[in-house]
Amino acid sequence: MPQPHPTESRAGTNDLLAQLRADRWHPVAFARFLVRAGRRSADQARRHPRALLEVTLLHAGWLAIIPAGRWRWTLTSWLLAATHLGLLERRRTLGAANTITLLRANLPSLAGDARWLPAGALTSDLLDGRLARCTRTETRFGAHADSLADAAFWTWYTLRHERSPAVRAAALAAWAAPVAAVTIVSIRRGHMVDPPAPTVVRPAAALQIILAVRAISSGRGGRGVLRRARQAGMRRCRPGDSPGQSCSSRRVRNRRSGVEVASSSARR
């Protein structure tokens, strides 16, 4: 079996980080780092044409079903996937497990009621890992994509739909903070580092279950109760009321009209 090309392995990234550290993280060094990383990513994409086509078709199909104004999220997902195909190493195709992971990463771009999105994300998180192990298609690409997909989706969901400050803080600590810490430490040390993997207790997994249950029970992270209350108030309005106006404003307006009529009658 042929050996993987250096630019298709983790060693390529470590070489770039080591050079950045040797240049003492100077702004010019960061510019050179980005240029070299771009060239390496382009070389990786050329060496994985089928995987690049699969990633492109996947995101193009996703763009066809989401609202027109939410294309930026999907474009970012495509860019991150297309520029890290070297992590597939010997594999030439994306695979079913990685496809599920990328779909989870794009869930925030969907429209409609978000109460079921956490349950979908949790299910896909369990499915892609099990599928990769059962089919023996585990790759570094899948490991990195899985962690980034989790960080992107759950951070987005809690900031957008969760009302509890404590749950928001826990989500940032569980997903956003580790990604930022690994990035900073890798740049500082000059080589890629992996976050410690919990063996007994997985706080992030427990938090996923909590968020999914809260979303389903309350609707959109606690906002469904308020929405249902407003809708109930709208239903209690009189049939003759004009649409697009709240009941409270209609009642105030009616009271004011009654006062004006009474005042006019008194003057007569």
Task: Kindly report the average pLDDT of the chain as a whole number.
Answer: 81
Q: Is residue 117 over pLDDT 60?
A: yes
Q: Is residue 178 over pLDDT 50?
A: yes
For 29, the enclosing helix (H) or strand (E) is helix 27-47
Highest mean pLDDT among 29-38, 99-108, 154-163, 209-218: 99-108
The band of 239, judged by pLDDT with boundaries at 50, 70 and 90, is low
The pLDDT of residue 199 is 55
The pLDDT of residue 240 is 53
Query: Mean pLDDT over residues 89-101, rounded?
Result: 93
| Number of neighbours of residue 246 by Cβ within 10 angstroms | 13
Q: Which residue has the higher pLDDT, 57 or 247?
A: 57
For residue 108, give the nearest of 158, 156, 161, 58 by alpha carbon: 156
Structure tokens at 106: 């794009």
The pLDDT of residue 10 is 77
Q: Parse the chain into domains and list their residue ranges.
A: 6-227, 237-267
Query: Mean pLDDT over residues 116-138, rounded?
Result: 93
The band of 170, judged by pLDDT with boundaries at 50, 70 and 90, is very high
Rounded Cα gap, residues 101 and 96, in angstroms? 9
pTM value is 0.74
Query: Mean pLDDT over residues 57-82, rounded?
Result: 94
Structure tokens at 160: 């957008």
The pLDDT of residue 195 is 74
The pLDDT of residue 225 is 42
- 130 and 116 Cβ atoms separated by less than 8 Å: no
Rounded Cα gap, residues 171 and 151, in angstroms? 9
Structure tokens at 96: 């079913």
pLDDT tens per residue, range 19-62: 999 988 999 999 999 999 999 999 999 999 999 999 999 999 99
Q: Which residue has the higher pLDDT, 264 or 128?
A: 128
The band of 198, judged by pLDDT with boundaries at 50, 70 and 90, is low
Q: Is residue 7 over pLDDT 50?
A: no
Q: Which residues contact 152 (CB under 8 A, 6 or more apart)?
A: 105, 108
The pLDDT of residue 66 is 92
CA distances from 98 to 130, 147, 208, 218 (A): 11, 12, 20, 31
The pLDDT of residue 194 is 80
Q: Is residue 221 over pLDDT 50?
A: no
The pLDDT of residue 201 is 56
The pLDDT of residue 193 is 85
Helices (H), 135-246: 140-161, 165-171, 177-189, 203-218, 223-235
